[in-house]
Structure formats: C-alpha cells, structure tokens
A and B are shown apart, each in its own frame.
Chain A
C-alpha cells in the first residue's frame, strides 16, 4: 500500500510540476496576448479543461502504443507514460486559471509596471507575484485533477501491480473484485494525501492573501 501511495504521489506531483512549468507561462502569454489571438487559444484551453480524462488517456495510449507514432519510446504502461497523460490533463486547467488570475489584475497595473521601466521578464515576474493567490489555486486544481483521475491512469498505465498501479486504479480494481473494505482504505488514504498537499498550498495561499491586505 505504501508503494502504491508513493507511486501516486510521485506521478501526480511530477505531472503537476511539469504542468505548472508549461501551463503558467502559457496562461501568462494568453493573458497578455492580443485580444484576437487570445480568443481562439483561450477557447482551446477552456475546452481542454473539460476534456474527459479517459479521452486524454485514449489519445495518449494511441500515441504511445507500440505500433503508434511514439511507440519506439516504449512509454506505454510506464509511470512516465502516466505522467505524460496527467500533464496533458492538468496543463489546460493551470493555464486557464493562470490566464483568468492575471486578467483579473487591474489593466492599469500592467501599464504601471511597463511605465516604471520593467522589461518583459521583470513585468511577468511581478505579475506572477501579484497573482500569487490564483496561481496557487491553479497548482492545487492541477494536482487535484491529476491525482484523482482514473481513466488515463488505467488506459496508459495498465494498472500493473508493482509497476503502474496507483491509488485510483487500485480502488477501481478492488471495487471490481467486491473488496469494498480495501477500496475504502485506499480512498481514505487518497483523500488524506490530497488533503495534506492542498492544506499546505492553501496555507501558503491564504498567508499570501492576508499579507497583502494587512
């Protein structure tokens, strides 16, 4: 059980970290991009937020399948393949929340920073600091989405004991076997893991919000 818990945390935290590295810059670009360019891509990101995880799993599996275009990488039924799937699941969510968070900042603030002489990296860094509360919300949402999904983990990971089985796929397997007790234990542990990580992020987020207003 410890092994499954550790694997779940490893896959979802890694996927969230990668999704943050992609989604935050992408959301920032969307927030600062010209309105016309933004409209199409923002729609794509918002659609990505609503794509069922099994669909993502299916697409990733087709790509990674041994006879698929990326089959040579031998990532199907591996943790790395599962991480790729979870990155695709979490990234649109993080990008969407980042974009909304930055757009909620005053337009004057953007002008002020540029008028104060910020170059582009200085401007973006300062905007991220100002939008730190929604950015932390994006991280929480991304992690929550990644660790709780089961469709992509099953299709891409294959729920192989000792290799790719994670908490959610274990719960599905146990329910399938009629072993509700073990399924409930896994569910409680999964909830505990999600609660611990989100409590940590929420604490940082709320401290950041309170500091600015105090």
Chain B
C-alpha cells in the first residue's frame, strides 16, 4: 500500500519569499509525525499544504496519490485539522461538533450520538449545551479537537493544539489525545515549537527551520544525534557549544579537554550537552575551569549558569549544596548525555 500523505518536490513562495521547500516526505497509515521548528519556520504552511487549504507554488501534496489542493470535497473531508486557535463558532458546543457531520450528510440522530461520543472521548461531554464562546481556553481546545476527531479523519493535522494551556492542562490534553487515537490508524502530523510536546505523540520527528527539513528520524536518533547546532538547540539541548577536536580525538572547550572523545576528524565541531551532563567538581578535579554566574532553584534541581569564555548550563540535585555566585568550579562533561556534531559543509561561494 502506498503512502497516505506524500509531499514531493514541494516549493512554496509567499510574498516573493520561499517559505517552504521539501523534496520528499511520506507518511504511511497510522504514522505520527511531529514537526518541530521555531516560529516562522514554515510549520503552519506545511499543514495548510497538507490540508489542501493552499496549493504549493511547485511540486505536489497528495493524499493517497490525489493532489489535495483543488481536489473533490470528498478528498478534503478525509483530513481533520485543528488550528492553533480553537476556531469555535458562536453556537453551542454540541452544534459545533455536529456541524462537520451535518455537512457530511449524517442524519440528526446519528450526528448527535457521534458528536457526544467525540466530546466524551475528550472528557468534555458535560459542556455539550454550553455556548462555545464562553468556554475556557483548555475547554475550547478540547472541543476543537473533539470536532476534528468526530468525523473520524484518515489524517489528523494538529497545529500546536495545546498552546496557551498551563502545564497540568497541557499534559492532560495530550494524555486524552493519545487515548482518543489509541484504537485508530489515524495518520497524525503535529507541529510544535516545543521539543517536549513533539515527543508526546510522535514516532518520527522532522526538524523544520527556514522552510526546510534539517533532520528527520525517530525521536531517539534526533535527540541523541542532532544533525547540527540549530537542531540541537531546537530539541532542547541546554548547552550547544563551539568546540575543537584535537589530534588525539579529545573534545576541547576553550582549548581544554572536557572529558569527551570523538570519532570526528580534528578541527572545529559543536558539542551538544544536556545540563545534567555537566558535572561540577571541586577545583583541581577536572581541567575545565568555570565561574558561577547564577544559581537558581528549578523543579527538583539547582540550575547553574557558568562562564568559561562560553556560557554553560549545569544542574545539581536539590539535596546538594550549590556553589556560590562568583565561586570557581571545575566542569566535566558526561559523554552519555552529550553529542559531538560535525561542522556543516560550507556552501560554495558563487563563481
């Protein structure tokens, strides 16, 4: 069976500027792809092309081999799309969810039952008779998602559907979404600028910056071996440092070995390390010396900001006494929580 969604040689230009360029992207039935990228990376444009809301300037965006833009309504109606803002209509919650079912010709009793079931799955059935515009942000997001799921779409496109929710509501939202999708082979494309959110649903992550996919792979490979410094920053590495690799394969921060070796050739490289990878040792225990600039209490740990020509971010367990601001400490990097990235090949200068 062929791919459900397929982008090939897509280039999209808006206002004279290329905003998206994707040579190839394919998703099979049941695939869940998270598209991670900063604001303005082209994430929403990608979803709009997949949904058929816009036609690409060049190339094809297909659903089971049929170009989506300009396709019959039947093709477009196989795609559910939850936009960043809930986009609820000024009627009751139940009528909001019933509307796409009515447009698909369902009988009143069937659409009422289907809409209620969709609201139930997202735990908002008790809001069915409320005015949709009187809901809180979290409730509205759930109703919007219930409306997108009510039509049992073959493809579900999610554009940061939980933006603006507090941490607890955010977690609960994705738990319920996961449960709602559990017994379905829905192909999901979820765009977000948050690495932690990308990991919640996805079995693949595409990192999108400046309209191009910089890395595509399973979450473990993207997190464990980011393709470049930009990807490392996006997936959430606390430290993305310019380093040197010496002839003995040691990784040097500011010319000082940091405790890591690599298989990369000698020369400049990038070191991506989680804050937890930086071990603070008493002076003299490790060659890399740093000064403590800031100590702050984080959730379950101390957050340390250190300066050693470059800014470093480290963590200490709350039970451990943190160093004082201005104190000198030595730093060693745990190779298990760090990745050395080869420099990107320089683009050739125009002739």
Contact = CB atoms under 8 A, between A and B. Distances in A.
Interface of A: 106, 108-109, 111-119, 122, 126, 129-130, 211-214
Given A119-B103, A211-B131, A213-B133, A114 B53 contact: yes
Interface stretch (B76-84, B119-127, B264-272): B76-84
Contacts of B32: none
Given A118-B103, A129-B89, 4 more contacts: A114-B53, A117-B104, A118-B100, A213-B134
Given A112-B87, A117-B151, A213 B81 contact: no
B73 interface: yes
Nearest to A214: B131
B221 interface: no
B103 A106 contact: no
A117 B73 CA distance: 7
Contacts of A112: 81, 83, 87, 144
A115 B51 contact: yes
B90 A129 contact: yes
Given A116-B100, A117-B103, A119-B103, A126 B87 contact: no
B85 interface: yes
B131 A115 contact: no
A108 B83 contact: yes
A115 B83 contact: yes
Contacts, number: 67
5 contacts: A108-B83, A116-B148, A117-B73, A117-B76, A212-B90
Nearest to B90: A212
B170 interface: no
Nearest to A115: B81
A129 B99 CA distance: 13
Interface residues of B, number: 28
B48 interface: yes
A111 B81 contact: yes
B interface secondary structure, majority: mixed
Interface in B80-115: 80-81, 83-85, 87, 89-91, 99-100, 103-104
Nearest to A120: B73
B193 interface: no
A111 B77 CA distance: 13
Contacts of B100: 116-118
Contacts of A211: 90, 131
B147 interface: yes
A115 B79 contact: yes
A122 B84 CA distance: 22
B87 A109 contact: yes
A114 B48 CA distance: 11
Contacts of A113: 87
Nearest to A213: B133
Given A108-B84, A115-B80, A117-B104, A130 B89 contact: yes
A116 B99 contact: yes
Contact of A212 (B83, B131, B148): B131
Nearest to B84: A108
A111 B90 contact: no
A130 B89 CA distance: 7
Nearest to B83: A108
Contacts of B99: 116, 126
Contacts of A111: 48, 51, 53, 81, 83, 87
Given A130-B89, A212-B90, A214-B131, A116 B103 contact: yes
